[in-house]
């Protein structure tokens, strides 16, 4: 995807509020590592394959309903979706476990660095604070390279981590376990959850199809419908009727 195409998509996003999803450039291939024994719809504990870094969870970690988002920190659509994910979280935080998994797309040069920044912050207990500031300040770091990028990420961390160790944060940006965790998350999404674009949301392992939805509010409704079904608050037929009615009105 060239810069001109990206610019046009961003303009469309601003004008119409439509959801932008950035497709993976590379086609699916056979998994390099066999993770077939892992239930991707559940919270994944710390293990060797993920650098002993467990899934980051907010909400009710003991819930039987797990919402997993695969996303790219440099993706404009993911940044625009973030407040809506927060809205869903605030609605269900006592009932549902919310998990974020790294899915840095190769076409986004700073996506992996941003994922590393979130994971480095997580090592000091500031994962979700860093998650939020990376998205809300995406424009401040997405075009930077080298030391300038590192300095900006460190400044963002210092701003949210009152008791954080900035020097340790800088060191952890290249921590092998963190890089392993990012690769692990990506492999789960690409090879086992069939993620082809970001953001990609799954409820108890079932993908929420948002490909034909035009606004973020409608995306939020679609995710909430899936959650309500999983919680037993709504039947699948009721949600389908709602979706069909909305389509008929267009």
| Interior/surface letters 122-147, b for 16+ CB within 10 angstroms, e for the rest | bbbebbbbbbebbbebbeebbebeee
Helices (DSSP H) in 63-175: which residue ranges?
A: 76-92, 111-122, 127-136, 138-141, 146-160, 166-172
Domains of the chain in sequence order: 3-249 (3.40.30.10)
Q: What is the pLDDT along the chain (250 residues), one digit of tens a residue?
A: 554 444 444 444 443 344 445 445 444 455 678 999 999 999 999 999 999 999 999 999 999 999 999 999 999 999 999 999 999 999 999 999 999 999 999 889 999 999 999 999 999 999 999 999 999 999 999 999 999 999 999 999 999 999 999 999 999 999 999 999 999 999 999 999 999 999 999 999 999 998 888 899 999 999 999 999 999 998 886 656 555 444 444 4
**Any bridge partners for residue 69, and if so which?**
100, 201
d(CA 95, CA 187): 28
**Any bridge partners for residue 206, and if so which?**
203
pLDDT of amino acid 4 = 46
d(CA 3, CA 42): 37
Structure confidence by residue, pLDDT tens digits, 13-28? 443 344 445 445 444 4
Structure confidence by residue, pLDDT tens digits, 173-206? 999 999 999 999 999 999 999 999 999 999 999 9
Distances (CA, A) of 102 to 41, 45, 170, 207, 231: 15, 15, 19, 16, 26
User: Residue 159 corresponds to which tokens in the numbers above?
Assistant: 């701003």
pLDDT of amino acid 212 = 87
**Residue 15 has what DSSP assignment?**
H
């Amino acid at each position: 995807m060239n810069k001109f195409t990206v610019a046009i998509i961003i303009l469309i996003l601003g004008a119409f509020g439509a959801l932008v999803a950035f497709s993976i450039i590379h086609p699916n291939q056979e998994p390099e590592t066999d993770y077939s024994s892992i239930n991707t719809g559940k919270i994944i504990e710390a293990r060797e394959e993920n650098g002993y870094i467990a899934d980051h969870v907010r909400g009710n970690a003991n819930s039987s309903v797990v919402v997993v988002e695969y996303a790219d920190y440099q993706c404009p659509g993911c940044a625009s979706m973030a407040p809506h994910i927060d809205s869903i979280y605030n609605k269900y935080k006592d009932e549902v476990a919310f998990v974020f998994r790294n899915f840095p797309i190769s076409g986004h040069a700073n996506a992996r660095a941003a994922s590393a920044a979130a994971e480095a912050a997580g090592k000091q207990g500031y994962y979700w604070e860093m998650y939020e500031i990376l998205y809300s300040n995406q424009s401040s770091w997405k075009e930077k390279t080298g030391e300038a990028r590192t300095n900006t990420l460190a400044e963002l961390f210092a701003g949210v981590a009152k008791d954080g160790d900035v020097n340790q944060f800088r060191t952890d940006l290249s921590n092998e376990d963190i890089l392993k965790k990012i690769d692990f998350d990506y492999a789960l999404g690409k090879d086992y959850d069939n993620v082809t674009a970001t953001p990609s949301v799954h409820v108890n392992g079932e993908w929420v199809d948002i490909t034909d939805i035009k606004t973020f509010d409608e995306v939020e409704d679609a995710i909430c419908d899936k959650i309500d079904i999983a919680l037993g608050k709504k039947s699948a037929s009721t949600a389908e009727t709602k979706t069909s009615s909305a389509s008929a009105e267009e």
